[in-house]
Amino acid sequence: MSRSDATLTNVARSAEVSPSTVSKVLNGRSGVSAKTRARVEQALRSHGYSPPGERHRQPFIELVFERVESVFAIEIIRGVQRAAVARGLSLVLSETGNRHTPGPEWLDQVLRRRPSGVVLVFSDLPVSAKERLSLRGIPFVILDPAGDPAPDVPSVGSANWSGGVQAARHLIELGHRSIAVIGGPNDMMCSRARVSGFRAALDEAGVPFREDALRWGNFLREDGLQLGRELLQLKDRPTAIFAGNDLMALGVLEAARMLGLSVPRDVSVVGYDDLEIAHWSGPPLTTVRQPLAEMGEQAALLALDAQDGALRAARVDLATSLVVRESTAPPPKR
C-alpha cells in the first residue's frame, strides 16, 4: 500500500466514511452531502494531507470572468494567453457568479478539471473555496479584486488611487475647477480607489470636490450615456467629467453629442483603462492607462509558479500612466 493510500485510509477512518467517498471529495465529484464533504475536508486538513503533484494537473490555465463581453476582457485574455503559451499550456475561459465571487457550481467543476492554475477576475473567494482548491493543489490568483482580498490570497491589480490622482492633476493643470465624476460600482475597491485618488488631488490643489456631481455606474457605456446626460444638464454644468472606465467615458462622449455639446470645446472628458477603442473614439479619448494585458500575464505567472497549492501571499500593483489625446482642453470661458 502506498503512502498516499495509507493517508486516504486514515482520513476515511477519521471521517467515518469509505475511501471511495474521500476520493469523491478530492476529485470534486457529486454524490456527497455538504455535511459529509465538510467532515472529510476537515479530516484531510487534520491529517496534513498533501495534494497530488503536478503530474495530476491538466495542461491548461483557467481564466474566470463574471462576463466575457468587452474589450476589457479581451486585453486580460491576451495577457493570460501569453503566459500560458510561454509555459506550453492551453487557456480555458469560464463565465460564472458575480463580480464578487464565482458561482458555487464552478468550484465543483474546476476541481474535476484540475487546471494547472486559476486566475479569477473581479472576484474573491470564500474561505471554504480557498481550502478546497488548496487541498487539491490548484493554485489561484485574484486579478483586479472587487474587494480587499484576505492577506493569504495572491492578487494582481493596478495603482488605482494613483490613476485617479493623474486624471485630476491633468484637468487641474488645464484650468478646470468644476469637475464631475462618474465612478464604477461603489462596492468595488478599484472604483472607490480611483475616486478617492481623484478627490485627494483636488483637495491638494484647493479645488472643491463637487458632491452634487458625483455619480456611480456599473462600468457600462449605457451608464456613461445616462449619467453623462444627467450631469451635463445640471444648472451649474461641469466643464470636465472623469469617468471611472473608458466604456463609461464613451457614453459621456455620446451624451455630449446628443445635447449638442462639443468635446473638448464645451466639456472635457477623461476615461480610465486605455482600451484600444479609446484611440478611435470621436475625439480620441484622454485616459489613464492600466496595463490590462500585463496584469493578466503577471497573474497567470504567479499562479503557475505556486507549487502544489502552497500559495505565496502576494499583492502586485502595476503602475498606471496618463495618455493625453484630444478629449481634454482648457475650460470654456464663461
Question: DSSP character for 30?
Answer: S
State the sign of the Cα–Cα–Cα–Cα dihedral 12, 24, 102, 197.
positive
More confident residue, 38 or 285: 285
Are 259 and 187 members of one domain? yes
State the amino acid at position 171 in one-letter form: L
Identify the domain containing residue 204 by its residue range.
160-291
What mean pLDDT do residues 114-122 have? 90
- Residue 291: predicted pLDDT: 94
55, pLDDT greater than 50? no
- Residue 3: predicted pLDDT: 44
Which of 97, 119, 154 is the endpoint of a domain? 154
Q: pLDDT tens digits for 302-327? A: 999 886 445 555 788 899 999 999 99
Are 131 and 202 members of one domain? no
Q: Which residues contact 312 (CB under 8 A, 6 or more apart)?
A: 154, 302, 305, 306
In which band, very low, low, confident or very high, does the pLDDT at 146 lie, cut at 50, 70 and 90? low
Q: Cell numbers of 97, please?
A: 457568479
Q: Which residues contact 38 (CB under 8 A, 6 or more apart)?
A: none
What mean pLDDT do residues 264-279 have? 96
Residue with cell 464663461: 334
Q: Helix, strand, or coil here: 283? A: coil
The total of structural domains in the chain comes to 3
Are 145 and 165 members of one domain? no
Are 271 and 197 members of one domain? yes
Model pTM score: 0.81
More confident residue, 229 or 315: 229
Q: Give the CATH number of the domain where residue 86 resides.
A: 3.40.50.2300
